[in-house]
Amino acid sequence: MKPLRLILTLIPLGCGDGSSGSDGLLSDELSMPRVPTVALDSFASAEDCGVCHQAHYAEWAASAHAYAMKDPVFRAFVAIRQENYAGEQDKFCLQCHSPIGTRGGDIVAGFEFADLQPITLEGVTCESCHKAASLARPFNSGHVLDPDGPMRGTIAAPLGGSFHESQFSPLHGGSAFCAGCHDLREASGLVLERPYAEWQESPAAAVGVQCQDCHMPRYEGQAVAGGPTRTLHRHTWIGAGIPLLEGFVTKDEEAALRVEVKRLLAGAARVDIAAPAFVRAGDEVDLDITVKNNISAHNFPTGSTFNRQAWVEVVVRDGDGRVVFATGTLDARGEPRGSELLQLGSVLVDARGRRVLLPWRATEHVSNAIEPLRERVFRLRVATASAGRGPLSVEARVLFRAFSPEALRALGLDEYAARLEVHEVSRDVAGVELRPR
């Protein structure tokens, strides 16, 4: 089989836009100050907000943002990093997962999750967003928190009252607001996540479509019971995964979430097979598998692509349904197999060129993700010698899974592997006639 035409993009090291090098990214006066810059007890719990903003609270409570500090995968990574650096870098991973706890001094060297204050464990809670007064940089927890300031949002003329002061904030309506946490650089400077950087060069940005337009869909409703009907924004932040921790959401909420995740992923990319009408028995057949990213705003996949799995499965069967060729089907470990797997995600590689799981061991981030609205063609040359009678049927599917079960096992999280789901993003079929020589 001919080698695949994989395009490997080396994501450039981030520098030049406000980053102060690796030392700055480890003891950062904004997000990881040596002494606390905000008082933990000056922030209110999400539950307090839920008294009036019931819908916002219920949606947030089942979202990835509420999960950010409970996530067992996050905790497992953090535990290894704590050990690797003897506590010296403990704040680094926490700055976005708990901006309040990190700035408020709750995250100290050698901290344990069990000892953290409730507000820290709320993760990306209401006030980590609504008390953000400005953005100092579009990555690594760039928000400047102002606990004594007003509640900032995008209602132009909010009702006034004794509950809290409110202020219209255009910052909250734009993609840069999300960038503060969603674009991530390792302490080494290696760029790990960059949906905002991708968005900046995207067709969506050119026409003013923001992250919120897709990830916080609008609906008509009341921000508080008895208040005026307004255009509100969903606080569900549907993404690529469901919480692996059982009991974080109810069974019903989980079922609903799985449906929403499927809906977001379905059609995020499209696969098309171009195959010749016939092949002579015993000859090789060339298949062009085209994958198009249908998302106008960022790569497919995006975000933590080094943890995600996105790949193309191609199965060719003969007229009796026997498999003649397959790539991307799951092996006994549950991993997609194939010596020339059609990968769409990314891999972290260390100085010796080996694939690594821990981002802080990586010196390179090699990505196969497809840019917004662009397509990638993979050519497969398939031998037909083993085929019985024709015609050949070709099936191609773009598949997506939030984690590799193998990676979960490596982290000691075997129990969650069964909760992972392989999603079909797109599927195409084609037939190839098998003619005698």
Restricted to residues 351-390, the positions that interact with ligand HEC (CB under 6 A) are 359
Residue that is written with structure tokens 């940089």 in the block? 137
Residue 427 in tokens: 């599927």
- Which of residues 304 and 384 has its CB atom nearest to ligand HEC in the complex? 304
- Which of residues 240 and 432 has its CB atom nearest to ligand HEC in the complex? 240
- Which of residues 236 and 384 has its CB atom nearest to ligand HEC in the complex? 236
CA distance 352 to 371: 28
CA distance 319 to 364: 45
CA distance 367 to 353: 14
Q: Which residues contact 40 (CB under 8 A, 6 or more apart)?
A: 100, 101, 104, 105, 106, 117, 119, 120
CA distance 358 to 73: 12
- Which of residues 193 and 313 has its CB atom nearest to ligand HEC in the complex? 193
Asked if 14 interacts with ligand HEC (CB under 6 A), we say: no
Asked if 173 interacts with ligand HEC (CB under 6 A), we say: yes
Is residue 139 within 8 A of residue 155, CB to CB? The reply is no
Residue of 8, 10, 39, 51 that binds ligand HEC (CB under 6 A): 51
- Cα 380–chain centre separation: 29
What spatial distance separates the first Cα and last Cα of the chain, rounded to whole Å? Answer: 21
- CA distances to 57, 212, 252 from 256, rounded to whole Å, are 17, 21, 6
Asked if 199 interacts with ligand HEC (CB under 6 A), we say: yes
Q: Which residues contact 109 (CB under 8 A, 6 or more apart)?
A: 87, 88, 90
> Which one of the spans 58-66, 247-255, 313-321, 379-387 is the region binding ligand HEC (CB under 6 A)?
58-66
CA distance 367 to 264: 22
Asked if 27 interacts with ligand HEC (CB under 6 A), we say: no
Residue type, 351: A
Asked if 189 interacts with ligand HEC (CB under 6 A), we say: no
CA atoms within 13 A on the CB side of 293: 25
Asked if 172 interacts with ligand HEC (CB under 6 A), we say: yes
CA distance 318 to 188: 51
Asked if 52 interacts with ligand HEC (CB under 6 A), we say: yes
Is residue 151 within 8 A of residue 131, CB to CB? The reply is yes
Residue of 82, 102, 120, 302 that binds ligand HEC (CB under 6 A): 302
Asked if 224 interacts with ligand HEC (CB under 6 A), we say: yes
Site for ligand HEC in 96-155 (CB under 6 A): 96-97, 99, 124, 126-130, 140-141, 151, 153-155
Asked if 278 interacts with ligand HEC (CB under 6 A), we say: no
- Which of residues 6 and 55 has its CB atom nearest to ligand HEC in the complex? 55
Nearest by Cα to 94 from 114, 68, 65: 68
- Which of residues 161 and 276 has its CB atom nearest to ligand HEC in the complex? 161
> Which one of the spans 13-21, 34-42, 112-120, 205-213 is the region binding ligand HEC (CB under 6 A)?
205-213
Asked if 178 interacts with ligand HEC (CB under 6 A), we say: yes
Is residue 397 within 8 A of residue 426, CB to CB? The reply is yes
Asked if 49 interacts with ligand HEC (CB under 6 A), we say: yes
Residue of 105, 195, 336, 390 that binds ligand HEC (CB under 6 A): 195
CA distance 272 to 277: 15
Asked if 338 interacts with ligand HEC (CB under 6 A), we say: no
Residue of 4, 190, 237, 312 that binds ligand HEC (CB under 6 A): 237
Asked if 30 interacts with ligand HEC (CB under 6 A), we say: no
Asked if 93 interacts with ligand HEC (CB under 6 A), we say: yes
Site for ligand HEC in 254-273 (CB under 6 A): 264-265, 268
> Which one of the spans 1-9, 102-110, 181-189, 347-355 is the region binding ligand HEC (CB under 6 A)?
181-189
